């Protein structure tokens, strides 16, 4: 801190030789500041721990960012992908050309895209704690970026949003909330917010939606030997099956992971299983643990016989279990939701301080 103070003092004194330094306070739109540089009192930049750089001289009007900072969430559809950045901007790209199509100003740390890329769901950022109190879910019509629906949540009001998923159709939202007397977990219409399914037990830790939004797979005791996934059709109970849901492969198949206990702790992955929408076991694909039991980060079906794991940044065959695609570049991210997404032509993922788009 002393070095930064000395640099600022020198810069201000240089404006008026011999004049005493003058303190000027500025409110900046980024949290957790960690760096400062100036050449004069009117020419200075500030940065934060998420890698965001801000032109200080722009604060009198529209703030001007010099970069995007860390990638906090990546979502993919057939032809598009979106990246939520630490600068509070969401970037929407054409996956065929990797050209930037739209920029939305909403700080988010969890994104989801419909299968055709026409609907983008963004949940308010959780990375800056009290400095980012807006935890609302906003739905945008893309590529125009028109706000079509909003569901308000805040850091301090009850209930608070824990996780969010969007059906491939873009018509249904799945939510897990903090304890609430009405619904702790629910599926609602993306426009209007009508409740389609509701759970008030407080036991659901993961919600997966079928592509058309008619089926819900709700998992309890996730990633443990006691995990159970309950399947609902149009809000009505169908059946319960062992395992933790990893996501729907299509409108009739859901992938789940099974765990067992050994002398080691915590429980270890045993196998995967594919159930149909009635709970019948269809197959036990010989895939490794996808390490993907994160409520807002389901696996993505690539083809009828292959699936992409954001956590492992790999595409696996559901028949042979073989890795069909893996990048030579290491995958990384400051959160699970920043790891990656798949589009038709490529996989988009974080690697170090950059986001890469690689064909598969």
Render pLDDT for 154-172 as a digit per residue (tens, 0 to 9).
999 899 999 999 999 999 9
Question: Cα(22)–Cα(253) distance, rounded to whole angstroms?
Answer: 66
**Does the pLDDT at position 236 exceed 80?**
yes
Cis amide linkage into residue 165, ω under 30° from 0: no
In 3D space, the residue among 82, 112, 86, 111 whose CA is nearest the CA of residue 30 turns out to be 86
**Does the pLDDT at position 285 exceed 70?**
yes
**Does the pLDDT at position 291 exceed 50?**
yes
Please give the C-alpha separations between residue 354 and each of 77, 171, 231, 326, in angstroms, as whole numbers. Answer: 20, 32, 39, 17
Q: Supply the pLDDT for residue 10.
A: 39
> Which DSSP helix (H) or strand (E) runs through 306?
strand 306-309
13-30 residue pLDDT tens: 445 556 677 787 888 899
Q: Supply the pLDDT for residue 337.
A: 59
Return the minimum-mean-pLDDT range out of 107-121, 167-181, 194-208: 167-181
Q: Half-sphere exposure of 175 toward its Cβ, with a 13 Å CA cutoff?
A: 32
**Does the pLDDT at position 216 exceed 60?**
yes
Q: Cβ-count burial of 326 within 10 angstroms (0-12 exposed, 13-18 middle, 19+ buried)?
A: middle
Could you tell me which residue, 5 or 132, shows the higher pLDDT? 132
Q: Supply the pLDDT for residue 304.
A: 96
Q: Supply the pLDDT for residue 336.
A: 54
**Does the pLDDT at position 279 exceed 90?**
yes
Question: Cα(106)–Cα(91) distance, rounded to whole angstroms?
Answer: 10
Q: Supply the pLDDT for residue 194.
A: 97
Q: Which of 61-65, 187-191, 328-332 has the highest mean pLDDT?
A: 187-191
Q: Supply the pLDDT for residue 7.
A: 40
- Helix segments in the chain, DSSP class H: 2-15
- Mean pLDDT throughout 260-287? 92
Q: What confidence tier does 264 reach under pLDDT thresholds 50, 70, 90?
A: low
Rg, C-alpha atoms of the chain: 23
Residues 210/248, Cβ–Cβ less than 8 Å = yes
Question: Cα(280)–Cα(231) distance, rounded to whole angstroms?
Answer: 11
Q: What confidence tier does 5 reach under pLDDT thresholds 50, 70, 90?
A: very low
Q: Supply the pLDDT for residue 11.
A: 44
CB contact set of 30 (below 8 Å; sequence gap of 6+) = 46, 48, 50, 52, 54, 86, 87, 88
Average pLDDT over all residues of the chain: 91
Q: Half-sphere exposure of 33 toward its Cβ, with a 13 Å CA cutoff?
A: 14
Return the minimum-mean-pLDDT range out of 125-129, 168-172, 264-268: 264-268
**Does the pLDDT at position 3 exceed 50?**
no
Residues 324/312, Cβ–Cβ less than 8 Å = no
**Does the pLDDT at position 260 exceed 60?**
yes
């Amino acid at each position: 801190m002393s070095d930064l103070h000395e640099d600022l003092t020198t810069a201000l004194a240089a404006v008026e030789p011999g004049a005493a330094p003058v303190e000027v306070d500025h409110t900046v739109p980024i949290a957790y500041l960690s760096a400062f540089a100036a050449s004069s009192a009117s020419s200075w930049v500030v940065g934060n721990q998420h890698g965001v750089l801000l032109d200080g001289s722009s604060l009198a009007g529209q703030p001007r960012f010099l970069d995007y900072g860390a990638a906090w969430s990546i979502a993919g559809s057939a032809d598009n992908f979106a990246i939520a950045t630490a600068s509070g901007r969401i970037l929407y790209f054409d996956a065929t050309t990797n050209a930037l199509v739209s920029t939305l100003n909403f700080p988010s740390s969890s994104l989801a895209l419909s299968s055709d890329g026409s609907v983008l769901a963004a949940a308010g950022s959780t990375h800056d704690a009290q400095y980012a109190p807006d935890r609302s879910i906003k739905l945008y019509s893309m590529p125009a970026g028109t706000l079509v629906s909003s569901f308000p949540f805040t850091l301090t009001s009850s209930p608070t949003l824990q996780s969010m998923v969007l059906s491939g159709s873009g018509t249904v939202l799945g939510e897990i909330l903090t304890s609430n007397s009405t619904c702790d977990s629910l599926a609602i219409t993306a426009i209007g917010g009508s409740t389609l399914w509701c759970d008030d037990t407080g036991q659901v830790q993961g919600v997966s939606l079928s592509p058309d939004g008619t089926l819900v797979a709700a998992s309890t005791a996730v990633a443990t030997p006691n995990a159970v996934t309950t399947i609902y059709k149009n809000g009505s109970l169908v059946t319960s099956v062992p395992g933790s849901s990893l996501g729907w492969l299509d409108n009739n198949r859901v992938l789940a992971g099974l765990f067992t206990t050994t002398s080691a702790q915590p429980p270890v992955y045993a196998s995967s299983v594919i159930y149909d929408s009635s709970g019948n076991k269809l197959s036990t694909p010989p895939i490794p643990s996808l390490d993907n039991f994160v409520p807002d980060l389901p696996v993505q079906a690539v083809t009828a016989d292959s699936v992409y794991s954001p956590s492992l940044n790999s595409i696996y065959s559901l028949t042979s279990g073989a890795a069909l695609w893996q990048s030579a570049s290491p995958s990384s991210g400051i959160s699970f939701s920043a790891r990656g997404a798949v589009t038709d032509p490529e996989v988009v993922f974080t690697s170090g301080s950059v986001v890469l788009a690689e064909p598969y």
